[in-house]
Amino acid sequence: MYGMSNQQQILLSKIATNNGHGENSPYFDGWKAYDSDPYHHIENPNGVIQMGLAENQLSFDIVEEWLLKNPKASICTMEGMSEFRDKAIYQDYHGLTQFRNAVAKFMGKVRGDRVVFDPNRIVMSGGATGAHELVTFCLADPGDAFLVPTPYYPGFDRDLTWRTGVKLLPVICESSNDFKITRKALEAAYEKAQEEKTRVKGLLITNPSNPLGTVLDLETLKSIVTFVSEKNIHLISDEIYSGTVFGSPGFISVSEIIEEMECNRDLIHIVYSLSKDMGFPGFRVGIVYSYNDDVVNVGRKMSSFGLVSTQTQHLIASMLSDDEFIENFISKNSEKLSKRYEDFSSGLYEAGIRCLKSNAGLFFWMDLRRLLKEPTPAAEMALWQLIIHKVKLNVSPGLSFHCSEPGWFRVCFANMDDETMEVALERIRSFVKKDLSAKRQRWQDNLKVRLSFRRLDDPHMMSPHSPIPQSPLVRART
């Protein structure tokens, strides 16, 4: 850490003094910019809009309405008070039975009831953050490695490696095939580890993907399960966005795949949380669901380091036991995400910005490669600084997700109201317009139709005889 004297450094542990927490990276500039100048539609209309936080703020009203109708869900209401002391005193790491039952049921419903989850395999942890660390402590020794397809959630570096001493090795995915995970890429990463004499203990996938917002197709999932089985390594499937799927194709969970394929179930583990699907990151409801009995047993013991508050367990148990509520929530939530996605992406389209086609998650994976001065990390950083300080949007640069190609940005869309979204879109439009007029010449030279853009059926997009006087890639609005 900076500013620490040598003596201080000796006083603390190596973990305390290394950068394994990942916060010294320059990517925190975006956060700092936001913190020092946060947008507020009345008080600070020119402030930085936060688009770097993958939060789901669209469905609180459904939850609040339910809460007011169900006072027993709280141990603090008159109706719920009789439960107070039993819950307050309960610190058993098995967790409340009703909690495990309710979470298992919710997980099943999110997967369209195509699979049933066993409440006895539900292990609690301190948010998904704690869940990832816990599962890593169970499966790998210091120096061992997990393969992780890129681009991936930056927090994995901290969660899986900081205190565990385990390494993360990238499996490179490329835009040329929409960042799909190929068997070839998996093998290449595995080989590389062998050459470096690093023992690979498992593969970590995020499905639906952060930052891509895409779901894994059946082929890919099957090939992944085959790969881990062949190599006899673990598969951790982070499915925390499973309830944010809003369009086709539908979500296929690893829990469904293992019903259809021969595989060693002792290798299969799911990480879940209510932070994204329900929008409750503050409640720290992290879940490890393992098909391996030993992992369940030891994981449960480890969960003591990050149990879910029983006040929260009780609330969640009540809420997620209500079938009517769950079904209503899942479908309305999906509708709202879908609408927000549509509104935003049509706005982006009009501004000539393209994104990876996606159907899940709380963000776009935006393609701004054409706005780079050159296809380098430095150019991405420069563009990013521009977006933060001039356009005043805190978006997340692709390199922070270990993306192998510069120019991609993750932009969150579900953590704001409609009004703010409009303001963000307007700023993007203005920026692109200015940038366009500066780069018009270069763009016309490089003009190509990008098939990855979602509005393939839009006649304006397809025809070179666009009624739009300028390049079809950009639509300036005054």
Partner 1 sequence: MSLSEIATNDMHGEKSAYFDGWKAYDRDPFHPKKNPNGVIQMGLAENQLSFDLIEEWITKHPEASICTPEGISQFKDVAIFQDYHGLAQFREAVANFMGKARGGRVKFDPNRIIMGGGATGANEMIMFCLANPEEAFLVPSPYYPAFDRDMRWRTKVKIFPVECKKSNNFQITKQALEDAYQKAQEQNIKVKGLIITNPSNPLGTTMNRETLKSLVSFINEKNIHLVADEIYAATVFSSPQFVSVAEVMKEVKCNPNLIHIVYSLSKDLGLPGLRVGIVYSYNDDVVSCGRKMSSFGLVSSQTQHLIASMLSDDEFVDNFLAESSKRLGKRHEIFTEGLANVGITCLESNAGLFVWMNLQHLLKDHTPDGEMELWHMIIHDVKLNVSPGSSFHCSEPGWFRVCFANMDEDTVYVALKRIKKFAGNGQKEGEPAKAKRWKNNNALRLSLSSRIYDETVMSPTMIISSPHSPMPRSPLVRART
**Binding status of residue 42 toward partner 1 by CB under 8 A:** no
What number of other Cβ atoms are within 10 A of residue 213's Cβ? 26
For the CB of residue 348, give the shortest distance to partner 1 in the complex, in Å: 25
For the CB of residue 284, give the shortest distance to partner 1 in the complex, in Å: 5
**Alpha carbons 135 and 364: distance in angstroms, whole number:** 29
With CB under 8 A as the contact rule, the residue among 115, 169, 298, 382 that binds partner 1 is 298
Query: Residue 181 corresponds to which tokens in the numbers above?
Result: 């995970």
Q: Which is nearer to partner 1, 160 or 432 (CB)?
A: 160
For the CB of residue 26, give the shortest distance to partner 1 in the complex, in Å: 17
**Binding status of residue 252 toward partner 1 by CB under 8 A:** no
Beta bridge partners of 365: 410
Q: Which residues of 324-335 are buried (b: 16+ CB within 10 A; e: fewer)?
A: ebbeebbeebbe
For the CB of residue 204, give the shortest distance to partner 1 in the complex, in Å: 15
For the CB of residue 386, give the shortest distance to partner 1 in the complex, in Å: 27
For the CB of residue 291, give the shortest distance to partner 1 in the complex, in Å: 13
**Alpha carbons 281 and 105: distance in angstroms, whole number:** 20
For the CB of residue 450, give the shortest distance to partner 1 in the complex, in Å: 35
DSSP secondary structure letter of residue 38:
B
**Alpha carbons 234 and 266: distance in angstroms, whole number:** 8
Tell me which amino acid residue 321 is.
S
Is residue 240 annotated as a catalytic residue, yes or no? yes
Where are the strands (E) in 1-135, listed by range? Answer: 49-50, 122-126
Q: Which is nearer to partner 1, 12 or 447 (CB)?
A: 12
Q: Which is nearer to partner 1, 132 or 357 (CB)?
A: 132
Beta bridge partners of 234: 202
Q: Which is nearer to partner 1, 46 or 304 (CB)?
A: 304
Which residues ranging from 314 to 373 are in contact with partner 1 (CB under 8 A)?
A: 315
Q: Is 71 exposed, middle or buried (0-12, 13-18, 19+ CB in 10 A)?
A: middle
The one catalytic residue among 153, 190, 289, 349? 153
For the CB of residue 385, give the shortest distance to partner 1 in the complex, in Å: 24
Query: Residue 365 corresponds to which tokens in the numbers above?
Result: 């994976």
Which residues ranging from 86 to 105 are in contact with partner 1 (CB under 8 A)?
A: 87-91
DSSP code string of 446-469: H----TTSS-TT-HHHH-SS-SSS
Which residues ranging from 149 to 178 are in contact with partner 1 (CB under 8 A)?
A: 158, 162-163
Number of residues located near partner 1, criterion CB under 8 A? 77
Which residues ranging from 373 to 402 are in contact with partner 1 (CB under 8 A)?
A: none
Interface pattern 204-243 for partner 1 (x via CB under 8 A): ----------------------------xxx---------
Say if residue 249 is preceded by a cis peptide, omega within 30 of 0: yes
Strand, helix or coil for residue 228: helix
H or E segment at 31?
Answer: helix 28-36
Which residues ranging from 183 to 202 are in contact with partner 1 (CB under 8 A)?
A: 201
Query: Residue 478 corresponds to which tokens in the numbers above?
Result: 């005054």
With CB under 8 A as the contact rule, the residue among 99, 106, 117, 137 that binds partner 1 is 137
**Alpha carbons 135 and 154: distance in angstroms, whole number:** 18
**Binding status of residue 418 toward partner 1 by CB under 8 A:** no
Is residue 153 annotated as a catalytic residue, yes or no? yes
Q: Which is nearer to partner 1, 146 or 251 (CB)?
A: 146
Query: Residue 476 corresponds to which tokens in the numbers above?
Result: 């300036």
**Binding status of residue 267 toward partner 1 by CB under 8 A:** yes
CB 208 within 8 A of CB 241: yes
With CB under 8 A as the contact rule, the residue among 50, 206, 242, 312 that binds partner 1 is 312
Strand, helix or coil for residue 274: coil
The one catalytic residue among 144, 159, 238, 277? 238
The one catalytic residue among 276, 357, 392, 433? 276
**Binding status of residue 302 toward partner 1 by CB under 8 A:** yes
What number of other Cβ atoms are within 10 A of residue 261's Cβ? 12
Q: Which is nearer to partner 1, 47 or 165 (CB)?
A: 165
With CB under 8 A as the contact rule, the residue among 98, 311, 321, 470 that binds partner 1 is 311
Catalytic residues: 153, 238, 240, 276
